[in-house]
Structure 1
Amino acid sequence: MSLTVQTEQRGDAVVVSVAGELDMATAPQLQDQITDLLDKGRAKLIFDLAEVSFCDSTGLSVFVRAKNSCDEAGGEVRLAAPQRGVLRILEVSGLVEVLRTFPTVDEAATADATPASSS
């Protein structure tokens, strides 16, 4: 299965639309796109996961690395519209507690920027 990644500027964020299966074979493609965005100073990313049919631990690690990199750059990562199976993986792994997840891209784009935790 292949993976397609498209980006679209939306306000101060970049919506990264991902479609297909996100696994060991395809995760590097998404990681390359994220690295390119960060290199261009784009550190506020919204991942549209509506068309992601499968995500394994390799895919999850891409989101964690993206969050860490964006946090360091003063940005943030938000996940939007994960399908039920992908949402379940995020819940079981505990990543819904770390990665802000929204039912739609619109909600992710308009939600207030509040830190996940303040210390």
Structure 2
Amino acid sequence: MVNSGHMFDDFGQTPPVSYTRPEGPAWVIGLCGDVELDLLEEVEAATEQALRSSHGPLLFDLREVGFCDSSLLNHLLLTNRRRQVALFAVGGTVQRLLEVTGAAQILPTYADLGAALTALSLPPAQGRP
């Protein structure tokens, strides 16, 4: 997990990045909680690490995201200009934001990691379920 240096207990907030790892030729970043502008720095740092570490698409796991504002949406769209981005396990609130803004036409969403890897024609990493 990326730690941007601030104490999360001081703010009563949990870090927005729960994990980041390679998955075959892709890189997966798991997000959680309410991802808003004041927590975006950690997401940006994890994304930059992934862009340096992998040449494949970036897959964002949103299963644990309860809410996100336009700052995360903007980050995902800007990242998509640099590298292919896909989302999976998108909840209702985030899905609604994608649909209302038209971003659903740009950022593909999938039910789970397996569906995303299959749709993008990427093999899963060896030894992972």
TM-score range, shorter chain: 0.7 to 0.9
Structure 1 residue runs of 4+, over 3 Å off?
Answer: none
In 1, the alpha carbon distance for the partners of 2:120 and 2:82 equals 20
| 1:49 partnered with 2:71 | no
Instruction: Determine the C-alpha separation between the residues in 1 that align with 2:76 and 2:18.
Output: 14
> 2: distance between equivalents of 1:40 and 1:8?
10
How far did 1:41 drift? Answer: 3.6
User: Higher strand share goes to which structure?
Assistant: 1
Identity %: 29
Q: Which runs of 5+ in 1 are unaligned?
A: 71-75, 114-119
TM-score by length of 1: 0.83
What does the per-residue CA deviation read over 1:67-89, in whole Å, with 9 as the maximum and x for residues that have no partner?
1111xxxxx11000111111101
1:16-55 aligned at under 5 Å gives the runs 16-55=29-68
Q: CA deviation at 1:43?
A: 3.9
Aligned to 1:104: 112
Structure 2: which 5+ residue stretches go unaligned? 1-12, 122-129
Instruction: Find the residue that maps to 1:99 and give its secondary structure.
Output: coil
SS in 1 for 2:37: coil
Q: Distance in 1 between matches of 2:93 and 2:80?
A: 21
